[in-house]
Amino acid sequence: MAKLLRAAVLGPPGSGKGTICKRIAHSFGLQYLSSGHFLREGIAANTEAGMLAKTYIDRGMLVPDQVMTRLMLPKLEQLQNHSWLLDGFPRTLAQAQALNSLYQMDLVINLNIPLETLKDRLSDRWVHPASGRVYNMGFNPPLVQVSNM
């Protein structure tokens, strides 16, 4: 049996985690696991963790560590026989410790992006509310024209 790879890409919003993770996962045949995707999925499915996360998101707050770990760790358990790449998790030391208690990480990439670059990227960012897809109006606009942004 081939060795399983456990990896994560860390960085601030706008650093390119999602873009890079998708490319790496595709190139190396890894399961791409986005914490944002699992948050949206948990909310849409009305799971206990999803509804709890929604109470924080609706108030513009970060989802607490214990809620994020309760949402993410069961997903990782379902993929125990697969290689995976995490995007957006862990975000804090407590989340990293919870992850480390279950899995030995093989690789962690931390994206260090200048603040001015992050500001430029985020000021042009647009998220499609229904799907959660992220666009950049400067270099990755949606295929359908967007009005009333």
Query: Given this model, what pLDDT does residue 147 score?
Result: 61
Query: Given this model, what pLDDT does residue 13 score?
Result: 84
pTM above 0.85, yes or no: no
| Residues 147 and 106 occupy one common structural domain | no
| Residues 16 and 81 occupy one common structural domain | yes
| Residues 81 and 135 occupy one common structural domain | no
Count of structural domains, the chain: 2
Grouped pLDDT means (10 residues each) for the chain, 149 residues: 88 88 94 90 90 92 93 91 94 94 93 87 78 76 69
List, for residues 83-116, the tens digit of each pLDDT value: 999 999 999 999 999 999 999 999 999 999 898 8
| Domain span at 33 | 6-112
| Residues 11 and 25 occupy one common structural domain | yes
| Residues 32 and 19 occupy one common structural domain | yes
| Residues 127 and 104 occupy one common structural domain | no
| Residues 92 and 143 occupy one common structural domain | no
| Residues 55 and 124 occupy one common structural domain | no
Query: Given this model, what pLDDT does residue 140 score?
Result: 76
CATH code, 47: 3.40.50.300
The DSSP secondary structure of the chain, one letter per residue, reads: -PPPPEEEEE--TTSSHHHHHHHHHHHHTPEEEEHHHHHHHHHHTT-HHHHHHHHHHHTT-PPPHHHHHHHHHHHHHHTTTS-EEEES---SHHHHHHHHTT---SEEEE----HHHHHHHHHTEEE-TTT--EEETTTB--SSPP---
Q: Does some domain include residue 50? A: yes
